[in-house]
């Protein structure tokens, strides 16, 4: 297998683009990546395109990548469509890496794109909710709503405002999954709601420094804690928003990267896996894949300089700290309390603002994470720049089956 480098990255500002087609969003991201790489369209030998929800939201099925890329003049090459829930474009990047690493092609495009906003918000939530075992969906929704009804009654007894409506209707059902994990972590380790909220404060502050973030507002701890309850203990500002967007990267064989740039970013490891049934004392999918990625890259958690991880909710980020081996189980709260994961901390996490502030256009998220690490390692992240980064990692999960991520991708990068 050959060494592979990323030589260009580009993305659009994530946001709400009801009147803008996915063709336009993708074109702008791809053109930005090509300009960054110093590569012309005709030099792209293959493209892999990640998208999760277009079929359910826009009705475009089967040939999403071909439709979008042909519109901007890219054709006559292999174009592969990747659908893998929230890990769709991280999967696309992995496939693009394989194309180059195998020696089959020298220069390959990895694109992620999504349009989640719809005039009928229930359509968006239904699309997101399809990333589970749909035969069990009604049962899961009933169980989650029953649990929230009990918590709602307890809140009412305390004179507190009720949570939002039912799972899958006024909120993504995944927020109920994250709420369950958060309550279990609180019960087992004594983690507090304030610690989850501090992650949201951090990521929104980071997002305020990112011109491509969907929600660049800064919030205090009190703002986060006092925002409307979505699913106890999650408040609205602890939950990632839906969004529209696109992000792209250009990969090439490291041996020829010098033709295009003096600052290539090397792919040290590219891993893709799936969840599996396991006992409670066995590692979950994130820990298992992270260990494989560290071994492949020849690094450990203490060698990392910057991380972009899948903070679909604030509690998710805290739990992933532990699953990545950044701390011992139960100590994730201490990392945020001590400022370790701040931009100026020992190990910055989600300097882009993460999904909480940058936004979460599902099919674009994985490559957007990679764009951020690319810019960080090249020293091009402006006001959110981490000091002297050498090794970066992205962690991107997708869907859920039997209580853990259905798809999980981890990439490690170095300069």
Positions marked catalytic: 86, 360
Both tokens of residue 362?
Answer: 């599902």
Query: Which phi and psi angles does 229 have, rounded to 5°?
Result: -75, 130
Query: Which phi and psi angles does 233 have, rounded to 5°?
Result: -95, 15
- DSSP codes joined into one string, 151-214: HHHHHHHTTPPP--S-BTTTB-THHHHHHHHHHHHHHHH---HHHHHHHHHHHHHHHTT-TT-S
- DSSP codes joined into one string, 31-67: HHHHHHHT--GGG--EEEEE-SSHHHHT---S-HHHH
Q: In what order do the strands lie in the sheet with 46-50?
A: 79-82, 46-50, 107-115, 244-253, 4-11, 265-274, 404-414, 391-401, 306-309
On whether the CB atoms of residues 232 and 155 are closer than 8 A, the answer is: yes
| Residue keyed to tokens 């910055």 | 348
Both tokens of residue 270?
Answer: 């590219």
Both tokens of residue 230?
Answer: 């979505």
On whether the CB atoms of residues 255 and 3 are closer than 8 A, the answer is: yes
């Amino acid at each position: 297998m050959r060494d592979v480098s990323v030589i260009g990255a580009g993305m659009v500002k994530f946001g709400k683009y009801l009147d803008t087609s996915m063709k336009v969003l993708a074109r702008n991201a791809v053109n930005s990546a090509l300009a960054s790489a110093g590569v012309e369209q005709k030099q792209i030998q293959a493209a892999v395109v990640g998208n999760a929800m277009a079929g359910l939201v826009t009705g475009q099925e089967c040939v999403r990548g071909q439709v979008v890329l042909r519109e901007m003049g890219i054709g006559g090459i292999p174009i592969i469509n990747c659908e893998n829930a929230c890990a769709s474009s991280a999967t696309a990047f992995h496939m693009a890496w394989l194309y180059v690493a195998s020696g089959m092609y020298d220069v390959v495009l990895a694109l992620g794109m999504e349009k989640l906003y719809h005039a009928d918000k229930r359509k968006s939530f239904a699309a997101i909710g399809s990333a589970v075992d749909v035969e069990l969906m009604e049962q899961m929704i009933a169980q989650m709503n029953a649990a929230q009804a009990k918590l709602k009654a307890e809140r009412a007894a305390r004179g507190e405002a009720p949570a939002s409506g039912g799972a899958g209707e006024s909120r993504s059902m995944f927020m109920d999954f994250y709420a369950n994990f958060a309550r279990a972590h609180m019960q087992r380790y004594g983690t507090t709601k304030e610690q989850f909220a501090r992650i949201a404060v951090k990521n929104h502050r980071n997002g305020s420094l990112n011109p491509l973030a969907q929600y660049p507002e800064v919030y205090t701890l009190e703002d986060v804690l006092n925002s409307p309850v979505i699913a106890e203990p999650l408040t609205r500002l602890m939950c990632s928003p839906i969004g529209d967007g696109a992000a792209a990267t250009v990969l090439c064989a490291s041996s020829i990267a010098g033709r295009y740039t003096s600052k290539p970013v090397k792919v040290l490891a590219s891993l893709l896996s799936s969840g599996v049934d396991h006992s409670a004392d066995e590692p979950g999918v994130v820990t298992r894949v992270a260990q494989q990625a560290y071994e492949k890259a020849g690094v450990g958690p203490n060698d990392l300089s910057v991380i972009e991880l899948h903070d679909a909710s604030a509690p998710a980020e805290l739990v992933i700290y532990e699953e990545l081996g950044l701390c011992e189980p139960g100590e994730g709260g201490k990392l945020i309390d001590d400022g370790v994961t701040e931009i100026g901390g020992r190990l910055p996490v989600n300097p882009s603002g993460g999904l909480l502030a940058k936004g979460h256009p599902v099919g674009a998220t994985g490559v957007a994470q990679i764009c951020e690490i690319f810019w960080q390692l090249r020293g091009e992240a402006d006001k959110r720049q981490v000091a002297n980064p050498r090794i970066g990692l992205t962690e991107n999960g997708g869907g859920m089956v039997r209580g853990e991520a259905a798809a999980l991708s981890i990439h490690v990068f170095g300069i």
